Amino acid sequence: MTLRKVKKMSVYKISFGTPEETVPSKFAPHPLCEVYDGTALFGDKFSFKSTRRGSELSLPVDPSIEIYGFGLQLKRFNHKGTKKYIRPNSDPIKDTGDTHAPVPFFVTNAGFGIYVDTARYATFYCGRELRPTAGEVNISGGSVPDIANADGSTFVDALYAVREGGENNVVTVDIPTASGVDVYYITGENILSVVSQYNMLSGGGCMPPMWGLGCCYRADMRFSESEVLAIARELRMSDIPCDVLGLEPSWQTRTYSSSFVWNTEKFPDPEGMVDKLRKDGFRVNLWEQSFIHPSSPLFSEMLNKSGNYLVWNGLVPDYALESARKTLADYHKTNFVDMGISSFKLDECDSGDYTGGWSFPDHTSFPSGADGEQYHALFGTLYSQAVTASLGPRRTFGQIRNLGSLAASYPYVLYSDLYNHKDFVLGVVNSGFSGLLWAPEVRHAENREDMLRRIETAVFSAETLINACYLRELPWKKHGCTDEVRELLRTRMSLVPYLFSAFYEYHTMGKPPVRALVCDFSEEPESLTCENEYLFGDSMIVAPIISGTSERDVWLPSGEWYDFFTGQKYEGGTHHVTVTHIPVFVRGGTLLPVASPVNYIDRNTCFNITLHAYGSVDGNTSCTLVSDSDETYNATYTVHTVTLSTRGSLSPLYNITGVEIIK
Amino acid sequence: MTLRKVKKMSVYKISFGTPEETVPSKFAPHPLCEVYDGTALFGDKFSFKSTRRGSELSLPVDPSIEIYGFGLQLKRFNHKGTKKYIRPNSDPIKDTGDTHAPVPFFVTNAGFGIYVDTARYATFYCGRELRPTAGEVNISGGSVPDIANADGSTFVDALYAVREGGENNVVTVDIPTASGVDVYYITGENILSVVSQYNMLSGGGCMPPMWGLGCCYRADMRFSESEVLAIARELRMSDIPCDVLGLEPSWQTRTYSSSFVWNTEKFPDPEGMVDKLRKDGFRVNLWEQSFIHPSSPLFSEMLNKSGNYLVWNGLVPDYALESARKTLADYHKTNFVDMGISSFKLDECDSGDYTGGWSFPDHTSFPSGADGEQYHALFGTLYSQAVTASLGPRRTFGQIRNLGSLAASYPYVLYSDLYNHKDFVLGVVNSGFSGLLWAPEVRHAENREDMLRRIETAVFSAETLINACYLRELPWKKHGCTDEVRELLRTRMSLVPYLFSAFYEYHTMGKPPVRALVCDFSEEPESLTCENEYLFGDSMIVAPIISGTSERDVWLPSGEWYDFFTGQKYEGGTHHVTVTHIPVFVRGGTLLPVASPVNYIDRNTCFNITLHAYGSVDGNTSCTLVSDSDETYNATYTVHTVTLSTRGSLSPLYNITGVEIIK
């Protein structure tokens, strides 16, 4: 279909050269948006070249353009002027583009975004200057660096601080090997609109079961069955909300590579254990890693459905083959799902160039025809497809260490073994640009304050994940802050209905439930560099504090905002705030549904909800609450519009008990 | 030529597929060794595959093989089991393969080395395991990680500590884009023999002028002419040896990119300044960086001999074009060499993925037909060719930040803005595997001890380089250790004749003057992991100390060794030594020529030499001293064999004054 006129919000596809066969869109869900042929409209904007190295795509841009995206970037917010190498990697320590979840999609503040449909390690140069032809010389730049205040440690920083890079008048993409590529040019009135369409192109955002939005606790990997049951009991006894209990590696007989077999010395009665946990309101999540150890029952069947190199003596299954996905799904259903497992944590489907170069070579051959480079880019999404299939019609919400392009619909939250809190916050801010969810998981802490600061960030993120995989005790016990942690996790539980509505918009409209302020407020210049705050749903702005200070600057967009904890009113603008808790602000005019917290969520849960009315609200002000008919993919959803006067039971899930006015 | 029988020491070339046109050997000097056709002898050892991604080369190996090389690696000594990505980069912080000077050449302890003649970013997987066919299953590995002692910071280390990786039974090389490649299979009785042949294949090691082996001091980049002259005077007044005085960026009107024009506000009379310095025994070295600023006189002529992207508003000249090299050489001759400049420091011809992704894109088009990826791999060597040509027949010894394959003959020492002393020592140890020289330059220091420890390492390395580019004062003054520094630098000067002989062997036989112990002693298992000691010439072992301790273990190969400073005797084996100075040992049976130190070297210098006789020496024991007829490439060399009884003048350069016996 060709459309001659640019629609304000649309997705256009332009094909250059001969695209490869193994590309992300081949394995992605059906788009939930129209995709128009953009050749006539936008084809000329690009210059495309197929070379012996692959493909090269260039797009002239206004040098003032701002560029966001590229997946779960933990080291930079605005990528203007930088180079991004789109390659999965577990432990990057610099801003190279490497990440658990790289995505060849960026969005600009100029009304468009670009998704390049490739499974190659593409490199995006987000602003380079082409050589002039004779006569067009621009005699700028070349200042001698100011190293007046440089000492040894800042010398290199000083050297690079003043490099004037010309005009950055072109964005180019270097796509190895491919002799062509499909490009999706997405127009929208703002970043949110472009990102939402990218997510609809991806099949819409995932819709977790409500329990997925509660709290997840992962137990020490050394624990035996009785120790797992004991820590579960302790969580309940100490009134710490917990919906999901996760088991770490040693539930298996072999790990790294994995046997996918219960270690019955440590876990003599897995089924009984799962049963007990379920009765106590826990969903059980199992850690696993995709490489299949020779002792695994999966090994022989997977042998010919695997790449031609082993990793840690384990097979690398080729989940680009439907039959390999089915083998894994069937095995998981029979062995884990049927006994009551609700979700999985899928580890090490990225790779580790910064931790010894582990994982399979980029030139690995897979029976599907994918090579190692392509498969690295697809591994996470395909692996999660296979595991998700095992859960049958039931919705799930798991964790994964690699996702790639067009992955918004996969019900997995990314996590990392990295642990810098500031980087983790940036992950929260950035993940929403690319159809990803990110859990800034909490493990150990330096001290009490660090524990609380990290929990605060976890509470206001897509998943509240406590990963005590190397801690025998509840992590906050040694810091003596159980009461404070309980209170924070209860805050999370009180916001689950609000967050569930946000996820419903993610699912149906592609709107990321957690996102950078620039998505909605790019008209306000402060948003362009606002990298340490984010929207949590439509109505809340979260500005995490990193341990070591209790003050920070907070920028609030135009309008009125109210401190979520104290009710203090703020006008738009930058405020220096001194706080005891994490700065969270609610937009004036919001009707925020706040639930009485529960310790876990099941189908009998009914949320008693108080409507918090912020600032100027009236009878026309509303919010929504969403009910699902069940926890399957076939569920029907009811959207309840709630106003100041709504009271009583909306559905078995919600009961509106009253209003609190905050002015 | 086909040779049917493997010679113990030979270089064999094997062609696979259709090699690319732009490869390192195309630009390298003529080999100084026979190169035999190895197809019949070794072709079958490899499996070669040309795929859509490029070429793939595999070589089955014994899993016990040890692997060294890959250029200036600062993060790992023995690469067995790891992945190395051969890409120039200025500031790598992990063991990825990225380095200022990556080289697709490795050497093993199994009697062979392999050089892959490619300018691509090849990836070497130094031990991977192929998937078994059914029935060959090896049920090993998969131990649950021991995290008993792990806390947050060591968690990831603990996780990866136990990964059992199967057998590592194949080394594979992933060469992008190329549909074929030439491989050089080099046999030798030990690592030294293989490396020496690689260096002869490269045209033999460089032969610096003798002054190049003295001390180089680089002055603060903020200095004006009078300040440069003042620091030079201070060096002479304080009796600090110095042969070369280097100027840093601000001698130019524009830097980053560079104008290549004297800043006459700061330097009103460059010619007069150089003249004064030369009269006071200094050679003058100029910093520069290859990107050409629009204000440069070179700009218009280089415009059409450059790549199609700018870097910092500067042209990237295509030195793969002879005419571009000539343009630069002519300019340098006229403007710098003719006024008395002796050498250059060539900066930023690597690139910076870990410092913002600077430099030209990998897909840049160059008029020579090279693309950006290839040119990154060739940039340093070609740039140094151009600059070296400007010096006419005169030999030089400069600094450069990128070299690549087959670069042994280039008279440049690598340097870095990085500054970890331990990594710098590893650079000294590793550089010798790949035809490279490395200066562990000294800039600032944490304290007095750190200053002395760093100077010690610099003294016992290919070039003694003090880079005070951001320090107005002589760097040791603030630490109050001028006397100790003077003494160390005088030690360096006393060893210049010894080192000059070692370089002569580098030049004529390819033997690296500074190298890892495993080169010569791979029969002794301790050498295989000996990564913090090195041979300095044939007779000395240096074991640097990093600030913070005054003790360490030193491994000495079988035989007798003598502490260079104290004369204390050691047997081969591992010794725990407590020291005040850097541990340096001389092999028993050595006649070491030790000169009375001079403050600088010119053609009038005559070295008064005392022969230090260590351990069991007799009338048959000898050493060599080498005289050159002049400082040009046309010099003839005289090799003087010196014995215990040699006395008096050997040449204008050497006068043997006596013997000292150390037993």
Asked whether residue A65 is domain-assigned, the answer is yes
Split at pLDDT 50, 70, 90, the class of B158 is confident
A511: its two tokens? 């709107």
**Cα separations in angstroms, A581 against A454, A498, A575, B596:** 11, 20, 16, 70
E-only strand ranges, A140-243: 170-176, 179-187, 215-218
Q: Is the pLDDT reported for residue A150 higher than 60?
A: no
ipTM over 0.90: yes
Q: Return the SS3 of B282.
A: coil
Give the model's pLDDT for residue A9.
Answer: 83
Chain A hits for B82, CB-CB cut-off 8 Å, are: 356-357
Residue B1, pLDDT > 60, answer no
Q: B402, B415 in Cβ contact below 8 A? A: no
d(CA A621, CA A628): 24
| CA pair distance A317, A303, nearest whole angstrom | 8
| Cα separations in angstroms, B230 against B251, B486, B502 | 16, 18, 35
- B182 and B86, same domain (yes or no): yes
Domain span at B611: 591-662
Vertex B600 angle, CA B595 and B606, to 5°? 45
For residues B516 and B602, membership in a common domain is answered with no
Quote the CA–CA distance of A142 and A148 in Å, as a whole number: 17
Percent of chain A with pLDDT over 90: 89
Claim to verify: residue B597 and residue B627 sit in the same structural domain = yes
* CATH number reported for the structural domain that contains residue B530 in this entry: 2.60.40.1180
pLDDT at A149: 57
Residue B478 touches partner A, C-beta closer than 8 Å: no
Indicate whether A553 belongs to any domain: no
Yes or no, beta carbons of A155 and B373 under 8 Å apart: no
Of the partner residues A131, A293, A361, the one whose CB lies closest to the CB of residue B310? A131
d(CA B520, CA B68): 13
Q: How far apart are CA A245 and CA B435, in angstroms?
A: 56
**Residue A142 vs residues A136, B258, B395, B612: alpha-carbon distances, Å:** 17, 7, 31, 53
Cβ neighbours of residue A608 closer than 8 Å, sequence gap 6 or more: A595, A596, A655, A657
Query: Where are the strands (E) in B333-381, listed by range?
Result: 341-347
For chain B positions 326-355, those within 8 Å of chain A (CB to CB) are: 352-355
Of A131, A134, A361, the CB nearest to B308: A131
Q: How many helices (H) and strands (E) does chain B have?
A: 14, 31
Q: CA–CA separation, B162 vs B261, rounded Å?
A: 57
Same domain, B63 and B176: yes
Q: Is the pLDDT score of A603 beyond 80? A: yes
Q: Which two tokens stand for residue A191?
A: 């970043």
3-state secondary structure of B325: helix
Tokens found for residue B102: 């990556």
Backbone angles phi, psi at A13, to 5 degrees: -110, 135
Is residue B111 located within the same domain as residue B31?
A: yes
Q: Examine the fold and report which residue of B547, B569, B587 is the final residue of a domain before the chain moves on.
A: B587
- B5-25 pLDDT, tens digit each: 667 789 999 999 999 999 999
pLDDT-based confidence at residue A80 (cuts at 50, 70, 90): very high
Identify which has the larger pLDDT, B417 or B137: B417
Does the pLDDT of residue A153 top 90, yes or no? no
Helix (H) or strand (E) holding A457: helix A448-459
In this structure, are B56 and B172 located in the same domain? Answer: yes
Contact predicate B655/B605, CB 8 Å: no
The answer to whether residues B571 and B657 belong to one domain is: no
CB contact under 8 A, A314 and B142: yes
Token output for B40: 């019949």
B 131-160 residues with CB < 8 A to A: 131-132, 134, 137-145, 147-148, 150-152, 155-156, 158-160
The per-residue pLDDT for range B13-56, each reduced to its tens digit, is 999 999 999 999 999 999 999 999 999 999 999 999 999 999 99
Q: How many CB pairs under 8 A join A and B?
A: 276
User: Which of A37-46, A157-166, A180-189, B365-374 has the least mean pLDDT?
Assistant: A157-166
- Cβ-contact A407, A93 below 8 angstroms: no
Whole-angstrom Cα distance, residue A488 to residue A565? 11
Nearest partner of B609 among B579, B647, B578, judged by Cα: B647
> How many CA atoms lie less than 13 Å away from B166 in the CB half-sphere?
27
Q: What average pLDDT is seen over chain B?
A: 95
Contact A470 B294 (CB under 8 A): no
Task: Decide if B19 is inside a domain.
Answer: yes
Is B183 in the same domain as B44? yes
How far apart CA A318 and CA B263 sit, in angstroms, is 62
The nearest CA of chain A is from the CA of B373 a distance in Å of: 9
Residue A28 lies in a domain: yes
- pLDDT surpassing 70 at residue A1: no
Torsion-angle region of B615 (φ positive above 0: left; ψ -120 to 50: alpha; else: beta): left
Q: How many Å lie between the alpha carbon of A470 and the closest alpha carbon of chain B?
A: 7
- Nearest Cα residue in chain B from A303: B134
Nearest of A114, A91, A85, A88 to residue A101 by alpha carbon: A88
Q: What distance in Å separates the CA atoms of residue A627 and residue A315, rounded to the nearest whole number?
A: 42
pLDDT at site B569: 98
Q: What is the pLDDT of residues A238-285, one digit of tens each?
A: 999 999 999 999 999 998 899 999 999 999 999 999 999 999 999 999
| Closest alpha carbon within chain B to A255 | B142
Number of domains in chain A: 1
CA distance B565 to B54: 54
Partner-chain residue, chosen from B128, B130, B145, that has the shortest CB–CB distance to A256: B145
* Distance separating alpha carbons of residues B84 and B74, to the nearest angstrom: 12
pLDDT at B2: 46
- Give the residue from chain A lying closest to B84, CA to CA: A357
- At B45, phi and psi to the nearest 5? -65, -30
Does residue B645 share a domain with residue B564? no
Encode A567-589 in three state secondary structure.
Answer: CCEEEEEEEEEECCCCCEEEECC
Considering the domain architecture, whether residues B631 and B538 belong to the same structural domain is answered as no
Yes or no, beta carbons of A299 and B137 under 8 Å apart: yes
User: CB count, 10 Å around CB of B237?
Assistant: 8
Q: Write out residues 46-85 of A within 8 Å (CB-CB) of B.
A: 51-54, 56, 81-85
CA distance A433 to chain B (A): 21
Compute how many other C-beta atoms are within 10 angstroms of the C-beta atom of residue B50: 16
Q: Which residues contact B458 (CB under 8 A, 6 or more apart)?
A: B439, B440, B441, B442, B464, B465, B466
A16 domain-assigned: yes
Measured between CB atoms, does B289 come within 8 Å of chain A? no
Count of all residues that appear for chain A in the document: 663
Among candidate residues B187, B217, B234, the one where a domain is terminated: B187
Tell whether B47 and B106 lie within a shared domain. yes
Does the beta-carbon distance from A258 to B53 stay under 8 Å? no
Q: Is residue A440 part of a domain?
A: no
Question: Is the separation of the CB atoms in B492 and B499 below 8 Å?
Answer: no
Considering only CB atoms, which chain B residues are within 8 Å of A444? 151-152
Which one of B50, B83, B374 makes the best mutation probe of the A interface by having the most chain A beta carbons within 10 Å?
Answer: B83
| First-last CA distance in chain B | 52
Predicted pLDDT of residue B326: 98
B360 band by pLDDT with thresholds 50, 70 and 90: very high
Question: Whose structure tokens read 């609450």?
Answer: A625
Cross-strand partners of B613 = B591, B661
CATH number for the domain spanning B44: value is: 2.60.40.1760
Residue A415: its chain B contacts at CB < 8 A? none
Nearest CA of chain A to the CA of B59: how many Å?
14
Subunit contact A165:B221, Cβ cutoff 8 A: no
Angle between helices B225-237 and B270-279 in degrees, nearest 10: 10
* Selection from B488, B494, B662, B491 nearest residue B562 by Cα: B662
Tens-digit pLDDT profile for residues B163-205: 666 677 899 999 999 999 999 999 999 999 999 999 999 999 9
Q: Looking at the partner chain, which of A252, A313, A443 has a beta carbon nearest the beta carbon of B129?
A: A313
- Are A177 and B53 a contacting pair at CB < 8 A? yes
Question: Which whole-number Å values give the CA distances from B435 to A385, A496, B70, B505, in the listed order?
Answer: 50, 63, 10, 13
Q: What residues 597-616 of chain A have any CB closer than 8 A to a CB of chain B?
A: none
Please tell me whether residues B73 and B172 are part of one structural domain: yes
Give the gap in angstroms from C-alpha B549 to the nearest C-alpha of chain A. 21
Asked whether the beta carbons of residue B363 and residue A417 sit closer than 8 angstroms, the reply is no
User: Does residue A224 sit within a domain?
Assistant: no
**Inside any domain, residue A15:** yes
